[in-house]
Amino acid sequence: MYLNLKSHTSNPTIVSSLAWNAVRDSLEKLGKWELVHYIESVKVTNTRITIKTGKPIVNMELSNHKEAIQKRIDEGFQTFGIPKTERKIVFI
């Protein structure tokens, strides 16, 4: 049986939720769980992924793990059939 998720994965809220879950998962695997509590939101557009914390020191620490976060987001998107596009991660 084939499960068609296209109608769900085109919804920006669903895509942002998948990205948020991937960020949380990658930080947990890195042993940086305490950083999760500072993340206020994760927003995904066609060109960027914005992770909002409002704390410059947390943003700096997150930027140290940017590649691992990006990799986990890409894996999560691939699992749900979201087309791979080049999205820049921005911390604000």
Can you tell me the distance from the alpha carbon of 58 to that of 65, in angstroms, rounded to the nearest whole number?
11
Can you tell me the distance from the alpha carbon of 15 to that of 11, in angstroms, rounded to the nearest whole number?
6
Q: What is the pLDDT of residue 67?
A: 96
Structure confidence by residue, pLDDT tens digits, 54-87: 999 999 999 999 999 999 999 999 888 888 889 9
Q: What is the pLDDT of residue 35?
A: 94
6-36 burial string, b = 16+ CB within 10 Å, else e? eeeeeeeebbbebbbebbbbbbeeeeeeebe
- Does 6 have pLDDT greater than 80? no
